[in-house]
Amino acid sequence: MNEILYIVVPCYNEEAVLPETSRRLREKLETLAAMGKISPQSRVLFVNDGSKDRTWEIIRALHEECPLFSGVDLTRNRGHQNALLAGLMTAKDRCDMAISMDADLQDDVDAVDAMVDKFQEGCDIVYGVRSSRAKDTFFKRFTAEGFYRLMSLMGAETVFNHADYRLMSRRALEGLSQFREVNLFLRGIVPMVGYPSAVVEYERGERFAGESKYPLKKMLSFAMEGITSLSTKPIRYITLLGFLIFLVSIVMLATFIVKWALGMTVAGWASVICSVWAIGGLILLSLGVIGEYIGKIYLETKQRPRFLIRTVLEEDDG
């Protein structure tokens, strides 16, 4: 029996691109079903993340028009990661495998074929990885690759050049459901799930329509979220830095004592002022990093729901 595939697509203000996205995904599912690779019961599951435009109206219309389309409507905007998780957890008990991808069509839809092949070979997780960034501007390429290298340096395990385009089997989704943290960074959590995995390379295209939901400011915030959610290395680096500064201060104290014993005067205010500003800046930076972790502890202890679902479009709703 062919396995059921759900393609989970989080959407936030995507009315401009949804008609084309739905057309391509429908063609892909119908083609794979005709080839016998997936079950005809496979679906596209759109997740409306509190959109302010006509996104949910379009999703409802698609569902009424064709049973291949389903939808989840969140009560309010919860962010890309929470919306994606809501879709995956909704699909978990309905499918044998789920593929997550963005609505903007930058992820190559044709890579779905190779992902399904890898699944049928025994892989529970298949990562979609960009084959190159030749089409990116220098700034975009530099910041994006710097993002992955920074994550690795700070101890957050991620797959290089992989975003959220991936396939997960039902048992991998079951494993993911056991991670209960509120501060979600799925690119780092999914590798922790384990199970056999593989990589499928694809050429990432341009956004079909609409505006990017991840400008530089949001990417920096996303990186901070990932680092502090997955690693304590920044705090360890602060401890190491504090120890090194303490050693330097001991050396400086010994030097000043020797100079005082030899009757040599210690020159000027410049070194004193620089030291004060440097130490003050390091203290504020350290407090900021520690504050990030304390803030996350505060949010985790509240145990608030990561998302609330208003509506799920079922088969008999069409």
Rounded (10°) CA dihedral 288, 291, 296, 300: 180
Tell me the average pLDDT across 24-38. 92
Per residue in 120-179, pLDDT tens?
A: 999 999 999 887 766 666 666 666 667 677 767 766 677 777 778 999 999 999 999 888
For 52-79, how does the pLDDT look when each residue is reduced to its tens digit (9 = 90+)?
Answer: 989 999 999 999 999 899 999 999 888 8
Print the domain residue range for 126: 5-230+304-317
Tell me whether residue 177 is in a domain: yes
Does some domain include residue 217?
yes
**283, part of any domain:** no
Residue 259 belongs to some domain of the structure? no
The secondary structure element, H or E, covering residue 249 is helix 233-261
Specify the DSSP element, H or E, that contains 24: helix 18-34
What is the C-alpha to C-alpha distance for residues 273 and 102, in angstroms, rounded to an integer?
51
Q: Is residue 104 part of a domain?
A: yes
Provide the number of structural domains found in the chain: 1
Given this model, what pLDDT does residue 290 score? 78
Instruction: Please give the distance of CA 90 from its chain centroid, rounded to a whole number.
Output: 19
CATH number of domain containing 206: 3.90.550.10
Give the pLDDT of residue 244: 75
pLDDT band at residue 2, thresholds of 50, 70 and 90?
confident
Q: Tokens 């699909």 identify what position?
A: 91
Residue 75 in any domain: the answer is yes
- What CA–CA distance (Å, rounded) separates 313 from 39? 20
Cβ atoms 290, 235 nearer than 8 A? yes
pLDDT digits (tens, 9 = 90+) for 201-252: 888 766 545 555 555 566 666 666 666 666 667 777 777 777 777 677 667 6
- Of the two residues 18 and 214, the one the predictor is more confident about is 18
Residue 175: what residue type? Answer: G
Q: How confident is the model at residue 198 (pLDDT cuts 50, 70, 90)?
A: very high
Q: Is residue 241 part of a domain?
A: no
- pTM over 0.75, yes/no: no
In a domain, 141, yes or no: yes
DSSP 3-state of 79? coil
Which residue, among 150, 169, 168, has the nearest Cα to 160 in the 3D structure? 150
